[in-house]
Structure formats: C-alpha cells, structure tokens
Amino acid sequence: MKQIKYFVMALFAVLAMASCNTDLEGPIYTPTVENISMAQETQSYTTNETQIDIPVHFLRANKKGEYTVHYTLESTKPGVFSDTNNGVVTFADGEADKTVVFHASNLEAGVKYQATVTLSDADVEQADTITNSANFSTTIVVMREYLWEDAGTAKFTDFTFSEDENLGATVGGVKVEHAVASDVNLYRLVAPYNTLYGDIGKADIQFYLDADGNALTLGPAGMYDVLKDTGYALYWDPVNYASYCVFSNNGNKFHVEFPLAQPSTGQLFLGGLFEFEWNR
C-alpha cells in the first residue's frame, strides 16, 4: 500500500485505557448496595421502518429483596420516544436484570434521533463506591434508513492506498444508488473500497448533488468509517478544512480529496484522494 503522508493537521482527544491484572487472587467481593446500572452507555439502531422498539437493560448487583428503580427519558425531539413504564421498573427478589422496552415512532428517513435514559439521584446514591462500575445513563441513537434505487455504475479509482500514487488503483462496476426522498438529492457509492481491494470494510460513501446534478458535499462534518481495517477513517469538514476537503466534478467525472483520521492516535493526515466516473 502507498505510504500515507505524515503531516499532522489537528489533534483529537485520545482516551487512555487502564489495564488490570486478572491473575491476582483474593476474597470475592460481595456488594451490599443495589449498584443500579445501565448495561450499555450507548445503543445505536438503524431501521427501514417508521418505528422501532428499543430494549434497555437495567442491572443491579445486590439481588436480595424487591427494589424499584426510577429514571427519566429525555429526547432531542419531542413526540418520537415513549415509555410505557412511565419511568419506573421493579426488580423482584432474586432478579439482577430487568428490561424496559422504549418505543420510537414517527421516524423520518435520513434523520438521526437521540434520547437519554438517566437514573434518578436516589438510585445513583446506591452506587457501589468500591467497584465504581455503574453506568448511570444510556444514550439511544436511532436512524431511519432511506430506501435506495439503482442509479447506474461507476469506475472507481483510489489514490490513497494504491501502489502507484500517480495512476491509482481502479475498478469498474461499482454500484451507485439514489435515495428515494423529495427533500434531498442524495446518492451513494456502494462499498467501493471493498470492491476494489477486497480487504477493506464494506462501507458505502454517500454524496449530495445540487439541483443541476453537480457536486455539493459528502455530508455533515465528522469521521466516516469507510476505510475499516486500514487504521484510518475518512474525515470530512469543508467548513474548517476547505483546502483539504474537496468535492468537485467535470460532467460525470467526480474528484474527492479528504484528510485521513487515525482514531488510534487522534491525528489527521493529508493523503486521502479518490475519483469516480459515473455512468448515469
């Protein structure tokens, strides 16, 4: 593969992970408080439907006796998420895991919805200060997928990982699809890097065109995991990095330049480049 240009542009926050020694032996710790916790910090879902049920697991360490948990549900958009339990769930004697099913409805295609389930202050006070291992909230992210229709094929050329950085590596027959929507002119290249190399994840690359069918943008600012298994991600932010985030076209020939994000180090590098010629 081509050597990536190591020119640092920006630095993201890097999370340090602590390690532990599992070989140490000692008495087994038995919690004496409830230590209520959410099973996951985040839960993400995609669906093709206008509604979806989301199971959220509540856990407790001390299984003795009955215990009632109170929680709140807050959403970024009203009228989408609902809770038939009305913020209450009860553990029976001996139960350590209870599931509450939240419901999301009125989902619009292409829109990302977010809600947060948070334990009450009284339940947070039941946390085990010895293990300190509880999640006091969980964030739910739901997105309804677009329906997609055939929009031809493209010849895809990559200059980022190819052996010849001048000629690039090319593959034909990459599928192009159009989102069935009245409010956006959205398309996607279907798994172009996987089609070309075979050992890169099967992620699609979405792009928007203007009313005349010319290049507009790839999408909102952020990292896109379209280069899975390479150690890099496509980074797109044409507002702050206009010189490095380029999407242009000359007729049916499209040109894309982008920085490469390296999640393991939190750094950005120059060198992302691909083109495609679209048979539309």
Note the pLDDT of residue 17. 36
pLDDT of residue 63: 87
Helices assigned H by DSSP within 87-236: 121-124, 192-197
The overall pTM is greater than 0.75: no
Model pLDDT, residue 250: 97
Per-residue confidence (pLDDT) for residue 26, from 0 to 100: 44
pLDDT at position 13 is: 35
175: alpha, beta or left? (left if phi > 0; alpha if psi -120 to 50): beta
* pLDDT recorded at residue 128: 66
Q: Comparing C-alpha atoms, which of 171, 170, 177 is closest to residue 152?
A: 177
Of the candidates 236, 240, 220, the residue with the CA atom closest to the CA atom of residue 274: 236
pLDDT tens-digit profile, the chain (280 residues): 444 443 444 333 333 333 444 444 444 434 446 789 999 999 999 898 999 999 999 998 888 899 999 999 999 899 999 999 999 999 999 999 999 999 999 998 888 899 999 999 999 988 766 555 688 999 999 999 888 999 999 999 999 999 888 899 999 999 999 998 877 899 999 999 999 999 888 899 999 999 999 999 998 888 898 888 899 999 999 999 999 999 999 999 999 999 999 988 889 999 999 999 999 9
**What is residue 39's predicted lDDT score, i.e. its pLDDT?**
92
Distance CA 60, CA 174 (A): 50
**Amino acid 22: pLDDT:** 41
Pairing of strands 81-83, 97-104: antiparallel
- pLDDT computed for residue 33 by the predictor: 64
